[in-house]
Each structure stands twice: as C-alpha cells, then as structure tokens.
Chains A and B, each alone.
Chain A
C-alpha cells in the first residue's frame, strides 16, 4: 500500500497553483515477509563473508581481569588459557615481590594471533586483593578502575569529532578466584561479587582444584552455587540477558551444572601416553590440565574463548556500559536533545 502519492493525486488537481506544504519524510512501514517468492540466488548471504573479512582486518580487543588472593594461581591460569606468557608474572615482574599494602591494578597488553585473527589481549591483575589483615572495601579500587574505563569510553563517544574506532579498555570479563577450602564462600568473596556483579561480567572459578576429590568438588560447587543464589549474585551468563530459548537452555546447563569451573593451571608440559600435555607433576600422578576427567579447565577455556567471547564483549557494551552511561547522564541532566525539552518547559512556566 502506498502512503503519500495516492492521496495527493486527488489533491493534485486542486493544488497545482498552490505550492503544497512539504511532506514529512516517509517512514518505512511494517516489513512484508518475502521468502517463498525468491526465484533465484540473489547473493545476500555473502554478507556473512563480507562481514567476516572486515572484522578480521580490524582485529579484536579483549580485556580480562583476574581477582583473587595471592597464591591462587591467577597468573598461571591466564597463561594457560592463552597458551602464552601474557600475565604479569611473566612480564618481568619478580615472583618474590612483596604483597602490596593496598590493592593495585596492573594492566598488561599483548597482541596474539591465530588463524589470521589478531587479538589485543589485556590482562588486568589485582595484586593485594584480599591479602591485608583488614580487607574492608578492598574491592573499591577495582570498581573504580572498571568505572574509569567506562568513563574513558564515554568521553570518546561523546566527542564531536570521533575516532573511527574508539579504543576499548573496558573490562569484558572478570575471573574471580575462589579458594578451594571445600566449605563455603568467604564473606570477602560474597561482598566482592555482590558489588561487582552489577558493573562487570563475573565468572567465578574454583582455583587449585587439584586439592579436592571428585565428591568434594561436586559438593563444594553445589554449596557455592546455592550461596551465590541466596545472596542474589548474578554471575555471567546472567539469567536476565538470555536472548532466546536456545540461549536459555544452553546457559541454564552451564549455570546449574558446570559453573563455577574447578580449574587447574599449568604452563609446564609432560609426556603422557606418548603425547605432550600441559600438567602438574605430583608423586601420585600427573594432573592433565586439559583432561576433562581431571579438571574443568577445558570447559572454562571453551566457554570464555571459543563460544562466549563475543558475547562477553557484547554484554559489557550493550548492558554494563549503557547502565553506566545512563546513570552518568542522569546525574548531569542529560545531553542536548533532552535539554531542548527542559528549555521549552522553562519558557512555558514563565
């Protein structure tokens, strides 16, 4: 159905001499579905390939933060995840360094490439977290850092002349390391996750899981899950952001069965059954990091890198960042179009 033209045809005869008022630009109507009528190959599915090529050219950013008390194997795990020396531990920092008096934030960036895909990976370490005697509010520097990255992005976005690609330093994923006590979560764990799950994607991880037997592991995981639920902590993948039924079923399984992942990290290789595997050697056997019967490292790796990496970025951008932005703008009374309304209100009140 046409909109403008048909009606104005009738008026045309009358209004030939009178200039017609300029019509408002036409708004596209509800779309018509055309599927069965396709008579031949058009080629619109090539857009997938076009898009893939473009993204490979521009490359990707990924920023991952690790939080947990010192000695839980955070740096080793990150190195294992990315199969390279990307953490603070390996970038010239002395292992025997003293534990800092306050929480420090250290971000280290590397470029890694695989299969033609370039990725700028930034690992943000938080030495000093949970290591003091009094750990009150030790999450504050971390929350501050995360918000500062949102602020940086916002400032760039709000510029008149903007960069083609705004550098993304926002934290896409925060791995929270839980100590494998076997009992329950510590008050510090709960406090941290309560505060930070609102601003960043938190993935809780049970560290050094080789200290627990299979039964202990499964019981501990159940308890942790229960405690997180009782405390209203929404870890990634958050229930409310499931986009469709497919997502929900997939994510439900991860949330209710697999998470939190009980992991073991290692950057040493050993020979097992003729293969070279990453593992930890103990007198009673070699713990194979990538063996699913030994630990859930492979699950974590697949989850974070192979299936949900893009989603982590999108949730950060579309939800956490937008929340921060909305709050920020509300505090300041809003940007231009909003002010036009308030100006008019002022005038009418006078």
Chain B
C-alpha cells in the first residue's frame, strides 16, 4: 500500500467538523472509569505522615499511631474511594512503619524499594499476559513519594540521603520538611538551602514540576524553587477571627495550616493535587515504569538488536532462547539415556557372570552327585555280594545243619541204643 504524507501537511477546514470535542470524549471516558492515585509516605515514626494525609484530603483516614519498637521497616497500605463532583478517585496511601527506628538501619530502604518494584512487576506481568485486561487494571504503581525530613534545622540525615538515592530512579520524590513549626523562619531558609545543596551534591534526582506547558510553567517554576516544602499538618479546627481554620494552638500563638506565611502546606496541595497529579501519573508510567521494564527484560536476556544491528523482535529472541533451552534439555536427556544404557549393559554382564557361575556350580554339584551315586552303587553291590555270600553260607550252613541233625539223630539213636545195650 502507499502511505502519502509522511510529513503530513495541514489542511484547512471549511466549516465546523466537531472533533474539538475529542478531549471531552476522552475525559468523559476516564471519568466513567475512575482515576487511581497512589502516594507513598516515607519518613521516621512520629513525623506526622498520617496527619498530613488527613489534612491534605480533608478527612480522617483510619489508623492508630505506630510504636517505635518495630523490628524492621514495613509498609502499611490503605485504599480509599474519594468522590468530588463527578470525579471518582481511588486513592491508595502507603506509609512506612518503623522507618528509622532500628539501631542498624543499613537495610531500611530495602522493603521500600521492594514494594515499589513489586507494583511495577505486577503491572509488567499483566502487560505480558496473553489475555490481558489493561484498561480495567487497578494500577497500584506509586505515583508520588513524599519523603519526610525531620525538622532538625541542620542537614539531611545519612539515612535520608541513602534512601532517596535508592528511590530516585524508581519513583517521583517530593521532599518535605515535616513538623516545620519547630523551625523558625530564618533557620528554615538556611535549612532548605542546605538540603537542596546536599541533594544536588549527592546526585539525588527529585521530581521537578513540569515547565513545558505555558499555562502552568510559571507557577511550577516558582514552586520548584520552594522545594522542599515545609509543612504542618492538623485536622483540628480552631476559630480564628470569624472562620474555622485548621490550626495548631500554642501558648505563644496559633499556627494556621493554610496560611502561606506560616507554612508551605497550600503549595504542597496545589502542586501535588491541583496542578500536577496527572503529570505525576504520566511520569510514573512513561519514565519510571519503562526503566523498570527495560531493566527487567534485559536482565532476562532479551535485547532489541543483535551485533549486526538487525532488529530482533522479542519473539525471535524468545524463540532462539526456547530452542537453546530445548536443545539443552535434549542433551541432558541424551546423556541420561546413555547412562541408562550403560547401566543396563553392566547389569546384564553381571547377570551373565552370575549365570555362568550358577551353571558351573550346577555342573559341579551334578558331578558330585554322580560320584556319590557311583559310590553308593558300588557299596550296594558289595553289600549285595556280601548278602549273597551270606545267603550261600546260610544255605550251606542250613544244609550242613540238617545233615548234621539227621546224622545226629541217627547218632543219638545209635547212642541211645548203645546206652541201652
């Protein structure tokens, strides 16, 4: 077929066609489908992660505060269905439990990385299935990671640097300074500068609010300069002036959460939810997920081009691997078969040996038997001879005896007669 217009030219329209409703059509479909947004909160116990989430979403998510005696870092995840006007949002909040509490924190980052990878893996598995339902898939990949920095006022902890470095290629990191009502304004400025320079010098890539769209470039650009956001969370409402506001009351004054002069909470909410939620989702899918997928597939031995720069398709590579594997299997099978044949031969030889021995034994026994028999026969014969000889003697003796008796009888008669005489 012929494809004209690789460098497609623009044609003018002579009237209203109506495809300008296309974005609306697309958005309506998404609205019907619902949206997913997954936030991961990483931070030490007691930094106010749960409270901040409650404050951001204007509601009390359930849960009890965690203790400091967790043996290892775990992740606690909860999903909520939020509704605002016609938007249905499936919000998943994952929090670390026990992060930073252990004496030895070398492995602390591992459960977090594993969790993030597990979500990518689940998506990859679904994508690679033959029968798949991607458009109905509940996306659990983490779209934003809020990293809670303790308000020490000095610098980042080494645990923070190590963890963020491990996470920056896997998730969009937004660093925030927690419980920032503990720091004064001047200290805060110094703290932010220190944190930013430490992140840069350690090569940690945090999420940059996008500045390519003119409508949001300005606000995003300004916000990028305010990172990390210094936040305060509170679900308590206090009457200030004649309005109810979220605030924290101290003897020396009241800190208003939504007052931009007091903290950056409003900025965080604006950036995270009202301006860049969609971009966070897109970056997760097109950058972090693609990187994971590429690494995973390369790890499994697949590649796109071979040394001769002929493009391999995944299928061909798979076919080649499969044949290779089958070949190996066949070799193994051959080897096993050879061994089996060998064993059989050996056994056969053994058996033949045994058979031969048996035959010899049998022959020997037979001969023995025959010898015995002969001996017995000889003995029998001699015995018979003896018996015959005895019989003869017997008859002879009997004859003699009967003769003698006769003679004797007559003799006795004679003797008697003589006696009588």
Indicate with 1 or 0, residue by residue over B315-339, a CB within 8 angstroms of chain A CB atoms: 1001101100100010011001000
Q: Give which listed residue, B1, B8, B59, B303, contacts A104 with CB less than 8 A.
A: B1
Please tell me the size bucket of the interface on B. Answer: 35 or more
Asked if B11 and A110 sit within 8 Å, CB to CB, the answer is yes
B16, A26: Cβ atoms closer than 8 Å: no
Main secondary structure of the interface of B (DSSP, over half): mixed
Cβ of A28 and Cβ of B92 under 8 Å apart?
A: yes
A105 contacts partner chain B, Cβ-Cβ < 8 Å: yes
Q: Given A91-B4, A337-B125, do A113 and B10 touch, yes or no (CB 8 Å)?
A: yes
- Which of the residues B59, B60, B87 comes within 8 Å of A48, measured between beta carbons? B87
Nearest B residue (CB) for A35:
B83
Stretch from B268-276, B347-355, B401-409 forming part of the interface with A: B268-276
For B74, what are the chain A residues with a Cβ–Cβ distance below 8 Å?
Answer: 4-5, 8, 23, 26
Q: Mark A108-121, 1 if CB is under 8 A from B, else 0.
A: 11111111110110
A19–B114 Cα distance when bound, in Å, is 18
- Please tell me if the beta carbons of B86 and A45 are within 8 angstroms of each other in the complex: yes
Chain A residue nearest in CB terms to B272 = A43
Give Cα distance in the complex from A105 to B293, angstroms: 36
- Known A-B contacts A109-B4, A161-B294, A346-B329; the reply to A57 vs B213 at CB < 8 A is yes
Q: How far does the alpha carbon of A145 sit from the alpha carbon of B19 in the complex, in Å?
A: 26
A87-117 residues with Cβ-Cβ distance < 8 A to B are 91, 104-117
Q: Which residues 1-30 of B sit at the A interface, judged by CB distance below 8 A?
A: 1-6, 8-27, 29-30
Interface positions, chain A 7-57, Cβ under 8 Å from B, are 8-9, 11-12, 15-16, 19-20, 22-23, 25-35, 37-48, 50-57
Cβ–Cβ contact B75 & A110, under 8 A: no
Chain A residues contacting B83 (CB-CB under 8 Å) are: 34-35, 38
Give Cα distance in the complex from A325 to B15, angstroms: 39
Known interface pairs A54-B282, A110-B9; A26-B18 also in contact (CB < 8 Å): no
The reply to whether B130 and A329 form a contact with Cβ atoms under 8 Å apart is yes
Tell me if A274 is interfacial: C-beta within 8 Å of chain B: no
Q: How far is the CA of A37 from the CA of B215 in the complex (A)?
A: 33
Residues from 89 to 139 in B contacting A, C-beta threshold 8 Å: 89-90, 92, 94, 97-98, 110-111, 114-115, 118-119, 125, 128-132, 134-135
Q: Which of A12, A46, A52, A308 contacts B71 (CB 8 A)?
A: A12
Tell me which residues across on chain B come within 8 A of A11, comparing CB atoms.
71
B82 interface residue, CB < 8 Å from A?
Answer: yes
Q: Which residue of A lies closest to B66 (CB)?
A: A5
**Most chain A CB within a 10 A radius of its CB, from B114, B140, B293, B314:** B314
- With both beta carbons as reference points, the residue of chain A lying nearest to B62 in the complex is identified as A32
Query: Is the pair A26, B94 in contact by a Cβ cutoff of 8 Å?
Result: yes
CB distance from A140 to the nearest CB of B (A): 13
Of the candidates B130, B274, B332, the one whose C-beta lies within 8 Å of that of A338 is B130
A-B interface pairs (CB < 8 A), number: 310
| In the assembled complex, B84 has its CB within 8 A of some CB on chain A | yes
Question: What is the bound-complex CA distance between A107 and B10, given in angstroms?
Answer: 16
CB contact under 8 A between A38 and B82, given known A52-B23, A305-B17, A332-B319? yes
A54 and B278: CB pair below 8 A?
yes
Q: Closest approach, in angstroms, between the C-beta of B91 and any C-beta of chain A?
A: 8
| Beta-carbon contacts under 8 Å, B41-77 to A | 56-60, 62-64, 66-67, 69-72, 74-77
**Across the interface, do A159 and B76 meet the contact criterion of CB distance under 8 Å?**
no
Residue contact B130 to A326, C-beta cutoff 8 Å? yes
**Cβ contact within 8 Å between A47 and B77:** no
Quick check: is A158 within 8 A (CB to CB) of the other chain? yes
- The reply to whether the CB of B313 lies closer than 8 angstroms to some CB of chain A is yes
Which residues of B are found within 8 Å of A28, using beta-carbon distances? Answer: 77-79, 92, 94, 140
Label chain A's interface by main secondary structure.
Answer: mixed
Q: Given A25-B111, A108-B5, are A42 and B84 neighbors across the interface (CB < 8 Å)?
A: yes
B298 beta carbon closer than 8 Å to chain A: yes
Q: Is A112 a contact partner of B11 (Cβ separation < 8 A)?
A: yes
Residue A2 at the chain B interface, CB threshold 8 Å:
yes
Q: A33-B81, A44-B277 are in contact. Are A53 and B135 (CB under 8 A)?
A: no
Flag if B315 contacts A117 (CB, 8 Å): no
Contact at B80–A34, with CB atoms within 8 Å? yes
Cβ-based interface call for A132 (8 A): no
A339 touches B322 (CB 8 A): yes
Q: A50 vs B131: C-alpha distance in the bound complex, in angstroms?
A: 32
B290 touches A110 (CB 8 A): no
Interface flag for B396 (CB, 8 Å): no
> Is the pair B75, A25 in contact by a Cβ cutoff of 8 Å?
yes
Closest to A12 in B: B71
Please, which residues of chain B bring their CB within 8 A of the CB of A161? 294, 304
Instruction: Knowing A5-B66, A39-B58, A326-B131 are in contact, say whether A45-B84 is a contact too (CB < 8 A).
Output: yes
Tell me whether B89 and A44 are in contact (CB under 8 A).
yes
The interface residues of chain A lying within 8 Å CB-to-CB of B56 are 42
Interface residues on A, range: 35 or more
Q: For window 37-83 of chain A, which residues contact chain B by CB distance below 8 Å?
A: 37-48, 50-57, 60, 62, 81-83
The answer to the question of B184 belonging to the interface, with a C-beta cut-off of 8 Å to chain A, is no
Q: Is B4 a contact partner of A108 (Cβ separation < 8 A)?
A: yes
* Minimum C-beta distance from A124 to chain B (A): 8
Contact across chains for B111 and A22 when beta carbons are under 8 A apart: yes
Asked if residues B1 and A145 are in contact (CB atoms below 8 Å), the reply is yes
A60, chain B: closest CB distance, angstroms = 6
Given contacts A43-B273, A84-B11, A91-B4, contact A158 B325 (CB under 8 A): no
- A308 partner residues in chain B, CB cutoff 8 A: 25
CA separation between A46 and B114, bound complex, in Å? 32
Instruction: Judge if A194 is at the interface, Cβ distance under 8 Å.
Output: no
Query: Assuming A44-B82, A57-B213, is B313 touching A12 (CB within 8 A)?
Result: no
- Give chain B's interface residues, CB within 8 Å of chain A: 1-6, 8-27, 29-32, 35, 37, 56-60, 62-64, 66-67, 69-72, 74-87, 89-90, 92, 94, 97-98, 110-111, 114-115, 118-119, 125, 128-132, 134-135, 140, 213, 215, 269-270, 273-279, 282, 286, 290, 293-294, 297-298, 300, 302-304, 313-315, 318-319, 321-322, 325, 329, 332-333, 336
Q: Which residues in A have some Cβ–Cβ distance to B below 8 Å?
A: 2-5, 8-9, 11-12, 15-16, 19-20, 22-23, 25-35, 37-48, 50-57, 60, 62, 81-86, 91, 104-117, 119-120, 124, 145, 155, 158-162, 164, 243-244, 278, 301-302, 305-311, 314, 317-318, 322, 325-326, 329-330, 332-339, 343, 346, 350
Task: Give 19 CB contacts A-B under 8 Å.
Answer: A9-B67, A23-B74, A28-B78, A29-B79, A35-B81, A35-B83, A43-B273, A46-B275, A47-B277, A48-B87, A51-B30, A52-B24, A86-B11, A105-B1, A116-B20, A160-B304, A309-B19, A318-B135, A350-B336
Give 11 A-B pairs besides A42-B56, A114-B19, A160-B304 with Cβ atoms closer than 8 angstroms: A8-B74, A20-B71, A22-B114, A25-B75, A25-B119, A34-B59, A41-B84, A47-B35, A55-B27, A83-B17, A105-B2
